[in-house]
Structure 1
Amino acid sequence: MSSVSAYYNGKTVLITGATGFMGKVLVEKLLRSSPDVKAVYILVRPKAGQSMQERVANMLKCKVFDRVREDCPNFHEKIKPINAELTQPKLAISAEDEEELLTRVNIVFHCAATVRFDEPLKHALQLNAMGTQRLLELARQMQNLEAFIHISTAYANCVRKCIDEVIYPPPAEPKKLFDLVEWLDESIIQDITPKLLGDWPNTYTYTKALSEYLIQQEKGNLNIAIIRPSIVGASWHEPFPGWIDSFNGTSGIFVAAGKGILRTVIANNEAVADMIPVDVAINLTLAAGWFTAVHRMMKIINRLHKSMMLLQYFSTQSWDWSSDNMNMLMSHLNTEDKKLYNFDVRQLHWSEYIESYCLGAKKYLLNEDMAGIPAAKQHLRKLRNIRYAFNTTLLVIIWRIFIARSQMARNIWYFVVSLCYKFLSYFRASSTLRH
């Protein structure tokens, strides 16, 4: 019997960001591995002209839920959507919904965040940092809360080469920064953003660093775990290999390269490609939730294996992260849990995973027929041959224009031709002697 699965059975869980990539996989794995979970509350806001109910309905139609749909056709009955907005005071939750959450929730998974690197600083702060602060305020009032799990990023402290499992000093005092962006004009905030970011490459990593510090300062008596995954990619095994539904991260690069649109990426061949399958990240998250609740730890910060970042800042550098807490957590799992909640990335066969990743992008992102793979390979071969032909033609033109006109080049050319002629003559003479 899995200890982790048994823990979640009978529990009431609150998840933010459930309609996102990692959130969907978290909801699916939780419902599939712990079928007796009492309820899963998800905070959802209207977006892009869709109401909360429409967004939840579209989420539940997603292919990622096919496995749990087969085992439990009524799984959707355990999902309880709550209309909420992280950027608003008190999360804009109704008094009735708030009372329900305060009296019933046992564990919180905070996955919601904007992952756009070019997000304006004010909006990134409102969602990633201030939203986390507001959720903490709600969590501290929950009467039966056993653990609060926050999804951060391995790059929250990317300004350091060696990153330990600790909370580092923030790049700025969060509350002062919140006050600053509240009264400053948007254009002024935009102008001073580079100065505020300092060595941080973008607003995403910057606000994630602030969020970790806020959690440390305002956790109160909560049992907190912070998960630091690197760039999250397609699934390794669960719910099936290669599942992906977002063009973010490496997925967009794989698709663009596969379609022949992207031919060049600025990178460092000596740097480590930091990428982690989404199911590995979610398995670790659920295992950390169990451990944090059962062992009542005040702080456990985990990070996953390294991954590849898209931007030049990340693709040309490497970092060293310690993983003692993750290894400790693995040692506490029994044999069944290690199978059911596998986050031992050492077992990952990377070439098979990348192949599965690319096929998953074709199947789930592009919705293309897998029978078209031979044609796609032929298309890529044509693009490669066109590139080779273009490069060869360009070299010939350069030779004719800039090199062939010089006397030295002609002498070299005559010398090469002479050698070839002598070699052919020798070859013919040798052949005649053998005959």
Structure 2
Amino acid sequence: MVTAPIRRATRARRARSAAVVTALAASVGLLAGCGEGSSDTVTGGGRSDDGTVTITMGLFGLMGFKETGLLDRYMAEHPDVRIVAEVAGDEQTYYAGLERNLASGSGLKDIQGIEIGRAAEIVGTQSEMFADFSGLAGTSHFLPWKLNQITTPDGEVLGLGTDIGPMAVCYRKDMFDRAGLPTDREEVSRLWEGDWAQYVEVGDRFMANHPDDEIAFMDSSSGLFNAVIYGHPEQFYDSEGELIYADNPVVAEAWDLASDAATAGMTAELRQFWPGWDPGLANSAFATTVCPAWMLAHISEKAGEANAGQWDVARAPQGANWGGSFLGVIEDSPVKEEAMELVAWLTEPEQQAYLFQELGLFPSSQTAVTSPEVTGATSEYFNDAPIGEIFGQAALEIPEEQVLGPKDGTIKDLFAQGLQQIESQSKSPDEAWADIEEHIERTVG
């Protein structure tokens, strides 16, 4: 069993609203996508008598294709194509539905988004359901390790990469100033350079010196946990596909640091993207959040104009990749060829660079990574932070080998739930770890 070796002096635990507890059981509903239809009526596309092709897409979160108008642009350039996209706000909800539809063979969209934590499971158990991109021309521009994550042992490529998630730390300059900490992003980066333990130590200093007891240093301990484990090639599984989380020192280190932060009362108990987190951003409830590149757009939207210029971006202690997605095409889609052409276009270097400029979604195309549109990008909302430089450097530090297991996403969610129990239900780290082991044994094997 893994336990935290150090217990820091804590402040009295702040009372939290019932909304945080409610968040444990809440799920996010489906949001209307681009075009017409709903989850009850939108399934696979097809061809009409007049030659029009309808392509359906199942997406999740903020993948950017609808929000930035890329789908509208494609339809304008291809007047015989109609795209209907359905977007789920929560990836867990989305993937549960995708699993059901894959099992039944019905309700599938022509194009399905695949989150990185699900890639190994798709490759291992659902490869026959997805089209093979390996023979499609013009797809050699991706980072090699990105496509490896969605490639079967016999070389079939089951999707094309959208973004990756190089890591940084987003922080509130005004809150750091009130706690007597540096505010310049280079000085802040040096505070925790090379060691996530130093990030937690800075949290101790912040909590001891910030004059407002209701302001937490970080949003949640689960974000810290993810940041630590994703800086290493192996997390929950080894390269042979065996579960190693219980004996992996990387997981032990991440658990010790995250549970230590949770018991020290330095988190706002707000799990990222769950109910309560968005109001926490808007109401300035915490001073830092571990932020992959794709998170910047969400922070700026939910924190709002009132907080523009107060947020900044510092380098993370260690390079890591958290998140990233793929677009796959269903093998039996009646418009498979057109759907594959659309996926190839959406993931071309030009579109990936555009999505980074618009939403901070860092490219998985190595051609886009080195483009001036990416390397020179800044963020006005984040105090003109040179995000192209910061995330570009972080991308170079991402381990080139990243071992994914079939239930990575499920296990990550179980660790997040365990840490949330420490934060909001006062469970001990030992009790929470035991619960996680029990759930993994029952649900993963």
Higher helix share: 1
Q: Judge same fold: TM > 0.5, yes or no.
A: no
Structure ranking higher in strand proportion:
2
Give TM-score scaled by structure 2 length.
0.26
- Asked which structure has the greater RCO (Cα within 8 Å, sep 6+), the reply is 2
TM-score after normalising by structure 1:
0.26
When Rg is computed on C-alpha atoms for both structures, the one with the higher figure is 1
